[in-house]
């Protein structure tokens, strides 16, 4: 009887011991810290995800600096401003404020973030713990910004240029118009003589659908997330926007819509047999595809050259009939009833079929292919976010990567895409946003808005050696 009992006890000991060891092989919590990666500023955020089976017995984050330990987060007692999301049964995301505003005692310099997560196993007899840590740099001084150029006149729907200084020179900086950032490029790329790295040039725009009262100012943000803003003098000029009505006929839709649908896989397959199906497809093309095309066009801004490669005024297609306004609010009618409204962003330059279309200025071809409502379309980059677009071409003579000079033939005029007749659809782009080309065709505008400011910036900039001696 005693023997049976001792075997029983032994079995229990083996079972418990084995279980204890096996529990050690169960998965410990996994920690992933998304932010911050390297630097922390005044208003930083800790963002992390923990993966764990079952309940967590501990989940916290501390920042250590010069022997002091500051609590950033604790699951037991989350501070205000902390967000905890149970994203799945075994995945929790935490965002908590981490910076000088949340922990005023922090000082600039190195610090170490340590995150600990633990979960009980084997009825609480064992704990599986994971510790993740990251070395961080704390910086609380915001970048410094100041305007260098004078007289900024912005036409609604048009562009402008500013020259400014930012330090440290390597931080992200831009002219901010509402929510839109127009990045600044080193002024040396605009041919400014003696330009040091802190001097930047930004082309920006107040686009047609932004309010006349939209804030326009300089913006900078460093790696630690410290931001700076600075106002600069500018005047906004309203521009009348034209309204027009467009009659859509079955003949027009039969000629344009099937071809566009065939070239635009993003629309999927659309039935096009009946007049009603054709009309529905036209509305998809005129709305949804127009927006998708605009997004694609905007994406080429990222490929712009940091150097200005254009020279002098942009040229308008010769012998073409020009419409008088940019951003034409068009109302579409079909058999007497209103079916759609869109804003036409660009200039339609009426010409006869198959006339040579020239590069409006020197640049590099980024796109030369079919592009939805624009049919055969070319996009040329001229540097610092300035680009031109040519639509409805019958044929293209260039390919992406080609360097083109002002006046070089890039294709022939036509009526591909959503075009009622032979014409060139031409628009200027500033950082992917469509702006009126009228300004860029005008040598006086180019001189006063761009060249004058670049010359003045060059005259102000001290020679590099003199700057070094002054320090």
Which residues sit at the interface with Zn ion, rule CB under 5 A? 348, 425
Please, are residues 11 and 57 in contact by the beta-carbon 8 Å criterion? no
Minimum gap (Å) between residue 425 Cβ and Zn ion:
3
- When the beta carbons of 225 and 391 are compared against Zn ion, the nearer one is 391
Minimum gap (Å) between residue 426 Cβ and Zn ion:
8
* Residues 443, 195: Cα–Cα separation, whole Å: 25
Please, are residues 288 and 270 in contact by the beta-carbon 8 Å criterion? no
Phi, psi values for residue 262, rounded to 5°: -60, -35
- When the beta carbons of 348 and 381 are compared against Zn ion, the nearer one is 348
* Strand 153-155 with 235-237, pairing: parallel
- Residues near 266 by Cβ (< 8 Å), separated by ≥ 6? 289, 292
Q: Which of 136, 88, 157 is nearest to 346 (CA)?
A: 157
- Terminal alpha carbon distance of the chain: 95
Rounded to the nearest 5 percent, the helix, strand and coil shares of the chain are 25, 40, 35
Minimum gap (Å) between residue 348 Cβ and Zn ion:
4
Minimum gap (Å) between residue 384 Cβ and Zn ion:
25
Give the DSSP per-residue string, 51-67: E-SS--SEEEEEEEETT
Q: Where are the alpha helices (DSSP H) in 329-451?
A: 438-441, 443-445
- When the beta carbons of 42 and 293 are compared against Zn ion, the nearer one is 293
* Residues 471, 460: Cα–Cα separation, whole Å: 17
Minimum gap (Å) between residue 347 Cβ and Zn ion:
7
CB atoms within 10 A of CB 211: 10
- When the beta carbons of 185 and 326 are compared against Zn ion, the nearer one is 326
Minimum gap (Å) between residue 275 Cβ and Zn ion:
25
CB atoms within 10 A of CB 391: 28
Report the residue closest to Zn ion, judged by CB: 425
Minimum gap (Å) between residue 367 Cβ and Zn ion:
17
- When the beta carbons of 42 and 416 are compared against Zn ion, the nearer one is 416
Q: Which two tokens stand for residue 320?
A: 């073409």
- When the beta carbons of 3 and 245 are compared against Zn ion, the nearer one is 245
- When the beta carbons of 99 and 417 are compared against Zn ion, the nearer one is 417
């Amino acid at each position: 009887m005693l023997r049976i009992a001792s075997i029983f006890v032994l079995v229990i000991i083996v079972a418990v011991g084995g279980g204890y060891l096996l529990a050690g092989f169960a998965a410990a919590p996994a920690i992933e810290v998304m932010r911050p990666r390297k630097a922390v500023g005044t208003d930083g955020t800790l963002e992390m995800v923990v993966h764990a089976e079952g309940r967590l017995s501990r989940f916290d984050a501390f920042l250590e600096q010069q022997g002091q330990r500051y609590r950033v987060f604790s699951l037991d007692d989350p501070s205000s401003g902390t967000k905890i999301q149970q994203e799945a049964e075994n995945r929790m995301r935490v965002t908590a404020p981490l910076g000088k505003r949340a922990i005023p005692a922090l000082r600039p310099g190195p610090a170490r973030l340590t995150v600990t997560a633990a979960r009980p196993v084997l009825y609480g007899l064992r704990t599986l713990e994971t510790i993740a840590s990251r070395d961080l740099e704390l910086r609380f001084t915001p970048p410094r910004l100041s305007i260098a150029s004078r007289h900024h006149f912005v036409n609604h729907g048009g562009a402008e240029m500013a020259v400014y200084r930012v330090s440290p020179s390597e931080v992200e900086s831009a002219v901010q118009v509402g929510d839109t950032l127009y990045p600044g490029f080193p002024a040396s790329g605009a041919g400014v003589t003696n330009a040091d790295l802190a001097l930047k040039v930004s082309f920006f725009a107040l686009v047609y659908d932004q309010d006349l009262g939209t804030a326009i100012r300089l913006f900078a943000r460093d790696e630690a997330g410290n931001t700076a803003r600075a106002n600069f003098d500018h005047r906004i000029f309203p521009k009348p926007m034209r309204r027009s009505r467009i009659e859509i006929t079955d003949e027009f839709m039969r000629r344009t819509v099937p071809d566009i649908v065939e070239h635009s896989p993003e629309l999927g397959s659309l039935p096009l047999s009946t007049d009603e199906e054709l009309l529905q497809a036209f509305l998809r093309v005129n709305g949804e595809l127009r927006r998708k095309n605009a997004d694609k066009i905007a994406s080429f801004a990222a490929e712009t050259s940091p150097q200005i490669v254009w020279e002098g005024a942009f040229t308008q297609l010769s012998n073409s009939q020009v419409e008088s306004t940019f951003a034409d609010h068009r109302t579409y009618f079909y058999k007497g009833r209103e079916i759609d409204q869109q804003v036409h962003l660009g200039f339609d330059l009426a010409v006869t079929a198959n006339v040579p279309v020239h590069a409006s200025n020197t640049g590099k071809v980024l796109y030369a292919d079919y592009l939805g409502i624009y049919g055969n379309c070319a996009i040329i980059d001229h540097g610092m976010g300035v680009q031109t677009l040519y639509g409805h071409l019958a044929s293209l003579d260039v390919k992406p990567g080609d360097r083109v000079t002002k006046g070089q033939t890039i294709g022939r005029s036509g009526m591909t895409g959503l075009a009622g007749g032979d014409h060139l659809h031409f628009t200027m782009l500033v950082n992917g946003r469509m702006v009126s080309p009228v300004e860029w065709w005008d040598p006086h505008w180019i001189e006063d808005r761009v060249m004058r400011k670049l010359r003045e910036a060059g005259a102000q900039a001290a020679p590099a050696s003199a700057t070094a001696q002054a320090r």
